[in-house]
């Protein structure tokens, strides 16, 4: 269903454009964003690169070229597919990086020296596979969170703001969900729902929802007692107005930081799911899992593991760095100018 994927991408891009127009208008966001850019240019550039690759890998369409493609045959080919033309790079089986002969047997390769990180068991170029994994990772961490956050905010803020019955109900639901160890609940959900992409994302969403909800609820509880909220109420601002103007903006930065951290947690936990056999197809976790066996051979086949690990590590590290920097930027105590 490539048009679904394309539609989602379009929505995301439109959302990004909207953000790019709205953010600079608010001085608080503009200053924080600029400060963040100033401090962590490399990490931001890295993440931007990943986003670009993911984007390129999400826009797909079917045409004569993809029909002929042995790897995609009939499935829509993405831009990444078209750039790499994996079918034309395919080998028989393993080959070392930049080798001209196959790993076992030493037969000459179809494309000697063309594989920067070698090929895997099925002869697929490892660089290509790594790049395809970008989209999967962004899907797991990003898309899931993006869907989960509005729902969690809805429940969390409602519970925190209106309290009493709503709070009791939401808190109980949160407690029940949170009582089951995350991994176990995840596993149970996937076993029950099935092992497809959508199901895994739903499972990740259900388990991740609680974290956001708890934070939203906690912060709303605190903010509800703030003096400026009392002042706003005294001025006659409606509940919706208070939520929109005072509560949401003040939990926004916390939500963003939590989003970044939950992104990394989700991507890392997917690797565990892949090991258990219930992860997403084409993910780095899957590559790492396959690599496990390869390490025990002599001589060791390491390039599959290397490609996936480095890609994963770089992405997670960059997001961690940004999340950390965001926390510093927003906390007034660590900002050096102004007070």
Partner 1 sequence: MAAFLLRRIGYGLLTVLGVLFLLFVLFFAVTNPDDIARKAVGERARPEVYAQWKANHGYDKPLFLNKAFAGGDMRRYTDTLLAEHYRRMLTFDFGRSDADDSPIATRLWQGAGPSLSLTVPLFIFGLVAAVALGLFVAFFRETYIDRAVLVLCMLTMSITSLLYIIAGQYLVGKLLNWFPISGFDPNPAVVARFLALPVLVGIVAGIGADVRFLRTVFIEEMSRDYVRTARAKGCGDARVMVRHVLRNALIPILTNIVVAIPFLFTGALLLESFFGIPGLGSLTVEAIQGNDFSTLRTMVYIGALAFILGQILTDISYAIADPRVRLG
Name which position in 77, 131, 242, 288 contacts partner 1 (CB under 8 A): 288
Residue closer to partner 1 by CB (options 167, 289) is: 289
The H or E element containing residue 44 is: helix 41-56
Does 278 sit near partner 1 (CB under 8 A)? yes
Provide the minimum distance between the beta carbon of 268 and partner 1 in the complex, in angstroms, as a whole number.
5
Scanning 27-35, 77-85, 207-215, 276-284 for contacts with partner 1 by CB under 8 A, the matching segment is 276-284
Residue closer to partner 1 by CB (options 91, 120) is: 120
Does 166 sit near partner 1 (CB under 8 A)? no
Which positions from 294 to 323 touch partner 1 by CB under 8 A, shown as an x/- string? -xx--------x---x--xx--xx--xx--
Q: What is the DSSP string of 208-274?
A: HHHHHHHHHHHHHHHHHTSHHHHHHHHTT--HHHHIIIIIHHHHHHHHHHHHHHHHHHHHHHHHHHH
Residue closer to partner 1 by CB (options 146, 316) is: 316
Rounded-to-integer distance, Cα 144 and Cα 205, Å: 6
Does 187 sit near partner 1 (CB under 8 A)? yes
Those residues whose C-beta lies under 8 Å from the C-beta of residue 243, and which sit 6 or more positions away, are: 157, 161
- Return the closest-CA partner of residue 177 out of 211, 228, 226, 219: 211
Name which position in 107, 172, 228, 331 contacts partner 1 (CB under 8 A): 172
The H or E element containing residue 35 is: helix 27-39
Provide the minimum distance between the beta carbon of 20 and partner 1 in the complex, in angstroms, as a whole number.
28
How many residues of this chain interact with partner 1, rule: CB under 8 A?
A: 42
Q: For residues 56 and 34, is the Cβ–Cβ distance under 8 A?
A: no
Rounded-to-integer distance, Cα 137 and Cα 123, Å: 23
Residue closer to partner 1 by CB (options 247, 325) is: 325
333 burial via Cβ count (<10 Å: 0-12, 13-18, 19+): exposed
Does 291 sit near partner 1 (CB under 8 A)? yes
Does 293 sit near partner 1 (CB under 8 A)? no
- Return the closest-CA partner of residue 233 out of 221, 220, 251, 246: 246
Residue closer to partner 1 by CB (options 176, 226) is: 176
Within residues 252-271, the interface with partner 1 by CB under 8 A covers 264, 268, 271
Residue closer to partner 1 by CB (options 98, 295) is: 295
Q: For residues 260 and 142, is the Cβ–Cβ distance under 8 A?
A: no
Does 179 sit near partner 1 (CB under 8 A)? yes
Rounded-to-integer distance, Cα 128 and Cα 115, Å: 9
Note the residues at the interface with partner 1 (CB under 8 A): 172-173, 175-181, 183-185, 187-189, 191-193, 264, 268, 271-272, 275-278, 285, 288-289, 291-292, 295-296, 305, 309, 312-313, 316-317, 320-321, 324
């Amino acid at each position: 269903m490539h048009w679904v994927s394309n539609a989602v991408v379009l929505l995301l891009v439109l959302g990004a454009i909207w953000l790019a127009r709205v953010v600079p208008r608010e001085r608080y966001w503009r200053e924080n964003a600029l400060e963040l850019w100033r401090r962590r240019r490399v990490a931001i550039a890295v993440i931007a690169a990943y986003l670009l690759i993911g984007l390129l890998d999400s826009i797909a369409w079917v045409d004569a070229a993809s029909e002929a493609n042995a790897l995609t045959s009939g499935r829509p080919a993405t831009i990444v597919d078209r750039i790499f033309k994996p079918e034309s790079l395919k080998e028989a089986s393993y080959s070392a990086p930049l080798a001209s002969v196959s790993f076992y047997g030493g037969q000459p390769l179809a494309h000697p020296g063309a594989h920067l990180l070698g090929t895997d068991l099925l002869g697929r170029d490892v660089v290509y596979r790594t790049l395809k994994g970008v989209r999967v990772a962004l899907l797991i961490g990003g898309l899931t969170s993006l869907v989960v956050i509005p729902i969690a905010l809805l429940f969390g803020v409602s519970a925190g703001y209106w309290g009493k019955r709503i709070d009791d109900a939401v808190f109980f639901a949160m407690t029940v969900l949170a009582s089951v160890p995350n991994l176990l609940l995840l596993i149970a959900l996937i076993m029950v729902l099935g092992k497809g992409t959508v199901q895994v994302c739903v499972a990740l969403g259900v388990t991740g929802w609680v974290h956001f909800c708890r934070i939203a609820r906690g912060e709303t509880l605190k903010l509800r007692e703030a003096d400026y909220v009392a002042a706003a109420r005294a001025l006659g601002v409606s509940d919706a107005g208070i939520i929109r103007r005072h509560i949401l903006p003040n939990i926004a930065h916390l939500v963003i930081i939590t989003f970044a951290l939950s992104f990394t947690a989700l991507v890392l936990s997917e690797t565990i799911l892949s090991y258990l056999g219930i992860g997403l197809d084409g993910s780095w976790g899957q590559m790492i899992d396959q690599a496990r066996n390869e390490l025990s051979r002599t001589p060791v086949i390491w390039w599959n593991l290397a490609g996936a690990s480095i890609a994963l590590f770089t992405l997670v590290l960059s997001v961690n760095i940004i999340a950390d920097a965001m926390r510093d930027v927003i906390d007034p105590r660590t900002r050096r100018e102004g007070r």
